[in-house]
Structure 1
Amino acid sequence: MISRNDVKKLLAFENGDAWVTTLSLNVDGRALPKRQGYSLVFKNLLKQTRADLEQAALSPQIRASIEADFNRMEAYLRDEFQRSHHRGLLIYACSRKGLWQPLSFPVPLRSKLVVQPHPYTLPLTSLLDQYPKYGVVVVSQERARIFEVYLGEIVEHSEIYDEVPGKVHDPESREFKSMAWYGLAERRLERRGRRSESGVGGGNSESSVYGLAERKIERHVENHVRHHFKRIADTTFTFFRDHHFDSLILGGQPENVNGFESTLHRYLASRIIGRIKGDPKSSLPELLEESLQVIQQAESEQKDQLIQRIKDANGPNGLGVLGLAPTLHALMQGGVQTLVVHDGATLPGGRCPSCGHLTLQEEAACPDCGTATEPIPDLVEEAIEEAILQGAQVVHLQQHPVLSESQGMAALLRYQPARNTNVAKGAA
């Protein structure tokens, strides 16, 4: 599971005068069902990058290290990489300095091969920015476990165990006796029975002694449980401060979850999106399965609300746009706050080699500077990267009727972009 610490470590990597090779590869089985598909994509990237490097002023040592990186990546894809459920692959390599870090993800990445004096961390930082992290806390009256769920994976971060005292002081005998000796549940029933038998104003000394002892035990246990829940709440807040999860899921028996939730900091309580039945004794696969169900439900509702906001704001003076042409127009003016795309959608288009403007037409004059555009195989992928570079949020939707009617692209805007008649004509 990646974190911002991974990005910091890569940025701090001491490569000296050696260059770092970064491979970002789309291995999505829906778009590339066979291994040969993504292998061919890599070979084409390799061919183009080698041609580009021929013009670079690099020492023989640096060139040898880069070529060793290429060869190791090729061998890894051929002999070692197991795609399984993964849809994206990221590899950082620097043979001269011993760097080799392959990372697999359950989301697709843009296929790109970058060779430069430092690691290309944009794919990592965009993943951290675009996909939410979830904290999961499961509690009982004695134990708690804290997890992080991110990109379909679960990692345990801490476990807390606070034993509820098994013995309490008995004032009558001046001894420490076990809670089992008092028979807490049985005494509660017994006390109720004796009250009903004795009638109004009745009672006896034995019942009073047991009642006092029982209440003492109850208060003693309740104090320890409250202390336990408070300790979990403090640990959870520290975990949030260090790992910055976006939402929180709680698990355990309802009475325990209720007690724990009452001790949470208000800022964390506001991030709760649901509960699971799992408790501290549950296995990791069980907890992950339950958590993903809550996450999928919450994300589905959030995405539906986002599409509705865009639809409601779509108009001449609104801050919502539907369709490729108006969305690209807003994106090229830096006005997109949230870009929404159909997951896996591809569409050819054009890009200006001079200013980088994206167009719907593969060969047309750039509406900004008039330069002839160059054809690009995937306009959607280019739009996503442009949005990330601008600091916009990118949301992927599997299927949605409003998005299907809008050519697979829509956006929520920061501000109204200036009207551009050239873009409108290009979309016609």
Structure 2
Amino acid sequence: MITNETLSDIREYSPQNFLITTLYLQIDGAPQQSHLIALKDLIKQRKGELDNQNLRPEIASSISDDFKRISDFINFEFSRQGTRTLAIFSCSAVKYWHILPLQLPLRNSLAVGNGPYLLPLNMVLEEYDRFLVILIERAKARLFEVFAGEIREHSSILDEVPRKVKVGGFGGAEERRIARHIEDLVRRHYKNVSDAAYELHKKYSFNYVILCGNDQNSKEFPHYLHNSLQEHVVTCAAEEFGASLKEIQERVLPAIREIKQKQEQKVLKRLFDQVNSGGLGIVGIDSTIRALQQGQVNSLVVREGYTKNGFRCENCRSLLTERGECDYCGGSTHPVMDLVDEAVQEALHQGCQVKWITSANMQLETAGKIGAILRFKI
């Protein structure tokens, strides 16, 4: 599972006098063998670009070895089952090799630089919500973390809480006393679970809490949560306490999708409110690319899966939608495989938010599948 600690460990590695190769390659969801074709194309394109950079022989040799090792690994060693995107970080000259299987789709890219190319993973940490899932019963609980398509279990809590019993006695007094004792133990159990949840929250900063329990437990337990967790609680149907990680993830997936859809609807409403009022909203690839080049973009809004060919200036590196002289410096331009991906990377470099729209929306489709909320107008 991706965490800030994961990225810190990778980020801290910086080989002296050599370059690191970083690959992101979509595996699952693509036709069989298509990822191998995509990898071949990425390596061919990157080799062509590097041939013009007059690299020192030892650096060029290390990069060439990276490409070969990556290709050999994916063709002959890697098992694609269960992986949606494969990330690899390599520097053959110093024998650095790090593999990171991911459970979410990231755009294909192959980068070579002084350090690992981590923008796509940084975007994941910023864009995806982190969920604390609590499988709650009156005497036991399990706590899970769900993030970016992955799930892991953090803890299991078992407390001594007797079942309700019926006993004799004058006017049922003894039975009521036992019932009060049981309810007190249940409250202590809820408090123990709440304390464990808050400790996890302090470490991982969850955006939402999803409760899996029967109606009574789901109604009673939220009152014991810390205030910072009570604000974003959603519930889903109860699951068997011994359920597998896969079963738990499948149970909470509809709730996660509903949250994501509501968030996307808010983003689109804000965008088109600004567009329709003549405010700080634009749509369409031409207007969006131009605004991005002029530093106007605050939030970039993109339909997931949208791709388009485009161009980049060889002199000032500006992005362009049309072939010809650069609009900004008059320099020559060269084609880029995916103008949308280049725009996303440029937006991240500028510190913009990137909002991916995963569900179909006719308004966005008609407007060109891309738009932006601006910082200012020119």
Q: Under a length normalisation based on structure 1, what TM-score does the superposition of the two structures give?
A: 0.80
- Choose the corresponding residue for 1:254, options 191, 197, 215: 215
> Counterparts of 2:373 and 2:119 in 1: how far apart (Å)?
23
Contact 2:85–2:106 (CA under 8 A) maintained in structure 1: yes
Are 1:89 and 2:49 counterparts? no
The Cα of 1:88 is off from its aligned counterpart by: 2.6
Mean Cα deviation higher: 126-135 or 286-295: 126-135
Q: Secondary structure in 1 aligned to 2:51?
A: helix
Which residue of structure 2 aligns with residue 387 of structure 1? 347
Mean Cα deviation higher: 253-262 or 353-362: 353-362
The Cα of 1:63 is off from its aligned counterpart by: 5.3
C-alpha change, 1:24 and 1:49, in structure 2 (3 Å) is farther
Q: Secondary structure in 2 aligned to 1:109?
A: coil
1:75-126 superposed Cα distances (whole Å, 9 cap, x missing partner): 1111123334644321012345443222233443343333334322222212
Which residue of structure 2 aligns with residue 57 of structure 1? 56
Structure 2, unaligned stretches of length 5 or more? none
Which residue of structure 2 aligns with residue 41 of structure 1? 41
Which residue of structure 1 aligns with residue 2 of structure 2? 2
- Choose the corresponding residue for 1:285, options 246, 257, 260: 246
Q: Secondary structure in 2 aligned to 1:346?
A: coil
The Cα of 1:233 is off from its aligned counterpart by: 1.2
C-alpha change, 1:103 and 1:408, in structure 2 (3 Å) is same
- Choose the corresponding residue for 2:233, options 272, 279, 283: 272
Greater Rg, structure 1 or structure 2?
Answer: 1
Which residue of structure 2 aligns with residue 400 of structure 1? 361
Q: Under a length normalisation based on structure 2, what TM-score does the superposition of the two structures give?
A: 0.89
> Counterparts of 1:264 and 1:8 in 2: how far apart (Å)?
31
C-alpha change, 1:389 and 1:57, in structure 2 (3 Å) is same
C-alpha change, 1:216 and 1:15, in structure 2 (3 Å) is farther
Amino acid at match of 2:78: F
1:6-44 superposed Cα distances (whole Å, 9 cap, x missing partner): 111112237455543222234464588724422322331
The Cα of 1:222 is off from its aligned counterpart by: 1.5
Q: How does 1:351-390 map to 2 (within 5 A)?
A: 351-366=312-327, 368-390=328-350
> Counterparts of 1:396 and 1:84 in 2: how far apart (Å)?
26
The Cα of 1:353 is off from its aligned counterpart by: 2.8
Structure 1, unaligned stretches of length 5 or more? 167-178, 191-205, 419-428
Are 1:339 and 2:300 counterparts? yes
Q: Secondary structure in 1 aligned to 2:306?
A: coil
Are 1:238 and 2:199 counterparts? yes
> Counterparts of 1:99 and 1:145 in 2: how far apart (Å)?
38
> Counterparts of 2:326 and 2:64 in 1: how far apart (Å)?
38
- Choose the corresponding residue for 1:113, options 106, 110, 115: 110
1:38-95 superposed Cα distances (whole Å, 9 cap, x missing partner): 2322331452365256x1236x4x5554443322211111112333464432101234
Report the identity percentage.
32
C-alpha change, 1:76 and 1:155, in structure 2 (3 Å) is same
Amino acid at match of 2:134: V
Q: Secondary structure in 2 aligned to 1:70?
A: helix
The Cα of 1:139 is off from its aligned counterpart by: 1.0
Amino acid at match of 1:121: L
